[in-house]
Every structure is written in structure tokens, then in C-alpha cells.
Amino acid sequence: MNPNHYTYRVTWSPEDNEHIGLCVEFPSLSWLAETPELALSGIRQVVTDVVTDLQATGEPIPQALAEKHYSGEFRVRIPPELHRLLALQAAEQGISLNRLASSKLAG
């Protein structure tokens, strides 16, 4: 697994008064730094170290989200009243309920 393929994010932490580097695939890891650049390089190094340790011990390594295969399908449960409303909107627009839901999710 290439640590460069993971999903990284840097945000401001008001509690710590510093930038915090995060990795989506390793939610328990973080790195605090004075600048966004240092927070990013810090979390990338931590993830690289953890992946190296996991490889050495034969433990499972999380797959990068960018490398996962997505089917394009998932189920969502909604109240019957909302289902009816959305079905009516789709019919009025002359599109399928699936297309309407897709456009609402994308918007």
C-alpha cells in the first residue's frame, strides 16, 4: 500500500490553536502544527510509519479510498411521505426517481 494514495485533510483546530493534519483511512491519527504545510507533512509521515509497522507485523492495512471499487449503488431508507413527494417530483419532471435522487445528492 502506498501511503501517498490515502486521503489527507488539513483543518484549523481552535481547541489546540494549531492546524491539524488528518487521514480519512486512519481516523485515530492526527498531527498538530503551526502551519497547514507542516500539519500535512506531519500526518503523511505518521501514516507512512504506521503502514511500515503494519507491514512488518503482517497486520491488515486499510485500503485507500481512492483505490476502492464503488458499484454506484446504495440503499437509503426514507419516510414513506418523502418517498411519495420525491416520486411526484420525478414524475412532474419526466425523469426517474433514481435520476432525481442522484441530482439532489450531487447538488
Q: What is the dihedral of CA 65, 69, 72, 73, to 10 degrees?
A: -90
- The whole-model pTM stands at 0.74
What's the CA gap between 12 and 19, in Å, rounded? 4
The gap between the terminal CA atoms of the chain, to the nearest Å, is 33
| Nearest CA-CA partner of 47 in 34, 32, 35, 31 | 31
What's the CA gap between 58 and 73, in Å, rounded? 33
1-50: pLDDT as tens digits: 899 999 999 999 999 999 999 999 999 999 999 999 999 999 999 999 99
Q: What pLDDT shows up at residue 102?
A: 94
Q: Locate the domains of the chain by residue range.
A: 3-66, 70-106
43-93: pLDDT as tens digits: 999 999 999 999 999 999 999 999 999 999 999 999 999 999 999 999 999
